[in-house]
Amino acid sequence: MTGLTGSRSSWTSQRVADTYLEFFRAREHLVLPSSSLVPENDPTVLLTTAGVQQFIPYFLGRQAPPSRRLCSVQKCFRTTDIADVGDLSHNTFFEMLGNFAIGDYFKEQMVPWAFELVTQGYGIPLEKLWVTVHPSDEEARRLWEAAGLPGDRIVTDESNFWGPPGASGPCGPDTELYYDWGPSVCGDKPCCGLGKCFPSCDCDRFLEFWNLVFTEFFQDADGSRVPLAQRNIDTGSGLERVARILQGVGSAYETDVFLPILRAAQDLLGAQYGASESTDQALRVIADHGRAMTFLVGDGVLPSNEGRGYVLRRIIRRAVRFGRRLGAERPFLEGVVAAVVGSMGSRYPALAPNLDHLKMVIRTEEQRFLSTLQSGLSLLDLWIEEARGNGRNHLDGEQVFRLYDTYGFPRELSEEILKEAGLSVAADEYDRALQAQRERSRGAGRFSVSRPTGETDGIVGQPATDFRGYETLDLASPILAVEGGTRGQSALAEGEAGSVVLAETPFYAEGGGQVGDTGEIITPHGTFQVEDTKRDSGGHILHIGRMLRGELAVGDASDARVDVERRRDIMRHHSATHLLHKALHVVLGPTAMQAGSLVAPNMARFDFPNDGPVTEEQLAEIEDLVNREILADLPVKTEELPFQEAVSRGAMAFFGEKYGDRVRVVSMADFSQELCGGTHVSTTGELGATYIATESGIGSGIRRVEFVAGRAAHALARTRSRQMSGVASLLGAAADQIEDRIRAVLDELKEARRTASHLEATVGQAQATGLMGRVEQVGDLRLVSGRVDATTSDGLLLIKDAVQILLQDGVIILGALIDGQPQFVASVSPTLVRPGFDAVRLIREVAAIAGGGGGGKPELARAGGKDAAKLDAALDRAPEIVRAALAS
């Protein structure tokens, strides 16, 4: 298309969604809100990719559905086509219209309804409608014909069969609805050269817009199928595709879904859609990715190098790269995000209140990448020209990894740029470099917790556990199920570990950042020690632990007793978290939204986005504000309210969390109101005090505060007091004179270091002069290498600097034994640096002889070794290594 004119059709995307939902609401379907893009209770799934995903527990019989007829407009994100986004047909984020029947109506009702909605509700002309059916599904064919669709537009297709999702499981035929754009779409190749076009053709004449799945069989691993006792309906219809059809435009980017975003991108970048295909592609990438990143961040995803965070980082950086193509030199994506919120905020009302947070997260990531983008692109261009000059059609995987590790280029972004240049990447080499880096940096967090991903056989079919732990910490309840042990799914013997499910429980299951309870389950025959409590995907609360004494069996009566003091400590920290969250808003502003939290008995932590470190003055103000509300002894009230009423009252809801129609609101007078399912104190005075222990950065624009309350706060105060007394004793000063005495000691140390530095420089100059007598000529360059005497790495650098002044242009490789370990430094004059010959390569090869490794910049690199005995051998090899690098 030329320009951004759009369509004058009255069929807005909002009208499409409303028409769909109202059609099925009138047919007794319960309309449910979209779930988060981050699947609930399923860390094995990266992102929500289909409307049915939130309803899977109902289909599997693990949870009772709120209705056997459901429908929704679901936010979805698919990562498989990211590199293709920019053409006219691919998107990452999209909305899926869907209706679902769980053991209710089946295809004999679904087909006529689909025909009615499409031809009467949407008003799509009958002659534009085609469907495909599975060859075995004669019933679906008959139903379509009975509804009024001519038989010559019902086409069989072997691919119209869904499932099973694994080697075995539910499955069934499906039928797909297509819109016919007409033969003119085929261009100069009428009927695709096949004599007649069909929906399965590779041309763009037919657009699939609705898939109806009839789950009616269970397939065993051997391929045999038996009818399901409960047959289900699962349908999905892309909102953007239906809008395109009803608005009569050539792609989703010409619909009202994308036009406001494209227009904003045009204005921000000074580009004109329709000016060239390159410009159009860039604007489409920015519009699609801008929409996708807005909803990812809104659902709690933050940029990182793993999982969902990596997907977000990848699309942000891809959008930045295409913005650069259009001349962008400064951050612009927050303007695109604002356009997304303005366009879609009516359908997703949680977007607008979080706009500042969305913009800040994306702006921070964009700024971070912009700082290295040009350097990375320049290096990549250099490598591409070198590869072409040498007749190679690929880059080394280590080169592409360096772009990722040093300049922040996601691998896929580098691959996309290389593909445009007609090159590829040696993937195995990249994977090896990435794995080596991960092994170097692998480490677990101090407070990491795990959670189950699903149910086990002995629990499937049991009702969800009723949590009673708000009102009591000691409760009689029968044992419904047992997992683990040596006697199958019925009992645990003394010493055996396992999980226990009760009909109801006072134990809080890990969730909302709060750790699970511990305690005991006592039966007439034994005592089970609960070491952790978690909730599975079926809503069962799992008491995880070990039999201390005796035995336990399904059907036993039990007395479930939570560790009271531990729970009270957790409650104090959870209430303190709410106070801290509000104080952060007061001091730092509303963008300090929760980005992660942990509430434990001995501490709590809170993650939030912020442009930089929180100052000491701000931390003091936050801590003072929290303790002021503790001293005020505010009442802590919990109540259940309709979601919209709670939000309208000012309760903080976290975008990305899944809330039902009714929510639990925790209020601390007028100071704090949050939607929360955790456990809390009765008044803020029960916290005693709260102290902030640390503040640090944990990622791109994310800060972390760790703090303590109650008994842990008193323990920290005692510890700090003892530490201060110990410091005073070491300094020989009174407590009120510690700062003055430390300043005096630091001044003395500074003077001693100045003297030592002067002496080290003098000695270093002498060593440098001596080294200049051993200059070697290697090819066209001069090399100075050898062992020197240095006590620190800075001293080693001083000697290198002294040699460099005397040598001017050349290569320097020096080594020293520092604290018993070999250390190396290498420098290469800028005029000598070229691909394949730089300080990093030289230092790595030298250090490897001493069992070490290192890195740095092309002109200067450092390394360490493990084998002190091989220091001299490594340095002796320096001329040979330089010679080989020159020849490569």
In this structure, what CATH number is given to the domain that contains residue 138? Answer: 3.30.930.10
Tokens of 12: 């807005």
Read off the pLDDT of residues 53-109 as tens digits, 9 standing for 90 and up: 888 888 877 788 889 999 999 999 999 888 889 998 899 999 999 999 999 999 999
Whether 34 shows a pLDDT value over 80: the answer reads: yes
Are 93 and 242 within one domain?
A: yes
Whether 451 shows a pLDDT value over 70: the answer reads: no
Are 556 and 590 within one domain?
A: no
pLDDT at 112: 97
Residue 1: pLDDT band (50, 70, 90) is very low
pLDDT at 446: 26
Read off the pLDDT of residues 347-363 as tens digits, 9 standing for 90 and up: 898 898 889 889 988 99
Contact 198, 152 (CB under 8 A): no
Residue 190: pLDDT band (50, 70, 90) is low
**CB neighbourhood size of 238 (10 A):** 20
Q: What CATH number is given to the structural domain containing 517?
A: 2.40.30.130
Q: What's the total number of domains in the chain?
A: 5
Read off the pLDDT of residues 651-668 as tens digits, 9 standing for 90 and up: 877 655 666 778 899 999
Secondary structure letter of residue 517 according to DSSP: P
pLDDT at 282: 93
Question: Quick check: is 235 in a domain?
Answer: yes
Residue type, 746: L
424 or 670: whose pLDDT is higher?
A: 670
Are 331 and 426 within one domain?
A: yes
Q: Where are the beta strands (DSSP E) in 446-603?
A: 466-467, 474-476, 479-484, 491-492, 497-502, 504-505, 519-523, 526-535, 541-550, 552-553, 559-562, 596-599
Question: Quick check: is 778 in a domain?
Answer: yes
pTM above 0.75, yes or no: no
List the beta bridge partners of residue 254. none
Are 103 and 252 within one domain?
A: yes
Give yes or no for a cis peptide into 125 (omega within 30° of 0).
no
Tokens of 447: 């407070």
Angle of CA points 325, 330, 332, to nearest 5° = 80
Read off the pLDDT of residues 791-809 as tens digits, 9 standing for 90 and up: 888 889 988 898 988 888 8
Are 373 and 473 within one domain?
A: no
In order of 43, 504, 826, 880, the CA distances from 873 in angstroms are 50, 70, 16, 12
Whether 447 shows a pLDDT value over 70: the answer reads: no
Contact 760, 796 (CB under 8 A): no
Question: Quick check: is 740 in a domain?
Answer: no
Are 91 and 191 within one domain?
A: yes
User: How buried is 875 (Cβ within 10 angstroms: 0-12 exposed, 13-18 middle, 19+ buried)?
Assistant: buried
> Nearest Cα to 173, choosing from 220, 270, 120, 106?
106
- List of residues 6+ apart from 303 with CB closer than 8 A: 309, 312, 313, 316, 361, 365, 699, 700, 701
Read off the pLDDT of residues 540-564 as tens digits, 9 standing for 90 and up: 899 999 999 999 998 899 999 999 9
Whether 185 shows a pLDDT value over 80: the answer reads: no
pLDDT at 654: 67
Angle of CA points 657, 662, 664, to nearest 5° = 70
Whether 458 shows a pLDDT value over 70: the answer reads: no
**CB neighbourhood size of 694 (10 A):** 11
The backbone torsions φ and ψ at residue 227, rounded to the nearest 5 degrees and listed phi first, read -65, 145
Residue 371: pLDDT band (50, 70, 90) is confident
Q: 811-818 and 781-787: which strand pairing?
A: parallel
Whether 782 shows a pLDDT value over 70: the answer reads: yes
Tokens of 539: 């809503």
Residue 233: pLDDT band (50, 70, 90) is very high
**3-state secondary structure at position 850:** coil
User: How buried is 416 (Cβ within 10 angstroms: 0-12 exposed, 13-18 middle, 19+ buried)?
Assistant: middle
Whether 648 shows a pLDDT value over 90: the answer reads: no
Contact 80, 91 (CB under 8 A): no
Among residues 227, 257, 287, which one ends one of the domains? 257
What b/e sequence results for 696-731 when a residue is b if at least 16 CB atoms lie within 10 Å of its CB, and e otherwise? eeebbbbbbbbbbbbebbeebeeeeeeeeeeebeee
Q: What CATH number is given to the structural domain containing 615?
A: 3.30.980.10
Range of the domain at 867: 763-887
Are 326 and 246 within one domain?
A: no
**CB neighbourhood size of 214 (10 A):** 27
List the beta bridge partners of residue 71. 31, 99
Residue type, 206: F
In order of 51, 134, 212, the CA distances from 172 in angstroms are 18, 10, 10
Are 59 and 205 within one domain?
A: yes
What is the rounded CA–CA span in Å between residue 358 and residue 365?
11
Question: Quick check: is 164 in a domain?
Answer: yes
pLDDT at 745: 86
Residue 454: pLDDT band (50, 70, 90) is very low
Residue 189: pLDDT band (50, 70, 90) is low
User: Taking the mean position of all CA atoms in its chain, how far away is CA 758?
Assistant: 51
Question: Quick check: is 750 in a domain?
Answer: no
pLDDT at 489: 65
What is the rounded CA–CA span in Å between residue 223 and residue 168?
8
Range in 235-239, 289-293, 799-803 with the lowest mean pLDDT: 799-803
pLDDT at 516: 96
Give the H/E segment covering residue 605: strand 604-609
pLDDT at 658: 63
Question: Quick check: is 723 in a domain?
Answer: no
List the beta bridge partners of residue 544. 499, 532
What b/e sequence results for 102-133 when a residue is b if at least 16 CB atoms lie within 10 Å of its CB, and e otherwise? bbbbbbeebbebbbebbbeebebeeeebbbbb
pLDDT at 432: 75
Written as one string, the DSSP assignment of 460-494 is: TTSPPPEE-TTT-SEEE--EEEEEESSSTTSEE-T
What is the rounded CA–CA span in Å between residue 741 and residue 727?
10
Contact 433, 398 (CB under 8 A): yes
Residue 240: pLDDT band (50, 70, 90) is very high
User: How buried is 797 (Cβ within 10 angstroms: 0-12 exposed, 13-18 middle, 19+ buried)?
Assistant: middle
Which residue matches tokens 């039902």? 660
In order of 252, 788, 823, 837, the CA distances from 881 in angstroms are 57, 19, 17, 11
Whether 699 shows a pLDDT value over 80: the answer reads: no
Contact 802, 796 (CB under 8 A): no
pLDDT at 133: 96
208 or 662: whose pLDDT is higher?
A: 208
**3-state secondary structure at position 792:** coil
What is the rounded CA–CA span in Å between residue 761 and residue 294?
55
Contact 606, 580 (CB under 8 A): yes
> Nearest Cα to 788, choosing from 823, 753, 762, 754?
823
Q: 424-425 and 394-395: which strand pairing?
A: parallel
Among residues 400, 418, 438, which one ends one of the domains? 438
Are 130 and 278 within one domain?
A: no
Read off the pLDDT of residues 743-780 as tens digits, 9 standing for 90 and up: 988 888 888 878 877 777 777 788 888 888 889 998 88
Give the dihedral sign, CA 766/768/772/775: positive
Cross-sheet strand order for the sheet of 853-856: 776-778, 781-787, 811-818, 821-828, 860-864, 853-856
In order of 104, 590, 732, 737, 748, the CA distances from 740 in angstroms are 80, 40, 12, 5, 13
Read off the pLDDT of residues 610-646 as tens digits, 9 standing for 90 and up: 888 999 999 999 999 999 999 999 999 999 988 878 8
Q: What is the mean pLDDT of residues 591-617?
A: 91
Q: What is the mean pLDDT of the chain?
A: 87
Residue 448: pLDDT band (50, 70, 90) is very low
Portion of the chain with pLDDT greater than 90, in percent: 54
pLDDT at 400: 78
pLDDT at 57: 81
What is the rounded CA–CA span in Å between residue 73 and residue 722?
59
Question: Quick check: is 704 in a domain?
Answer: yes
Among residues 204, 232, 257, which one ends one of the domains? 257
Are 861 and 877 within one domain?
A: yes
Read off the pLDDT of residues 109-167 as tens digits, 9 standing for 90 and up: 999 999 999 999 999 999 999 999 999 999 999 999 999 999 999 999 999 998 876 67
Are 648 and 785 within one domain?
A: no
Are 17 and 145 within one domain?
A: yes
Angle of CA points 769, 774, 775, to nearest 5° = 95
Range in 204-213, 444-453, 462-471 with the lowest mean pLDDT: 444-453
Q: What is the mean pLDDT of residues 858-869?
A: 91
Secondary structure letter of residue 33 according to DSSP: P
- Alpha carbons within 13 A on the beta-carbon side of 532: 15
- Alpha carbons within 13 A on the beta-carbon side of 732: 2
- List of residues 6+ apart from 390 with CB closer than 8 A: none
Contact 538, 459 (CB under 8 A): yes
Question: Quick check: is 747 in a domain?
Answer: no
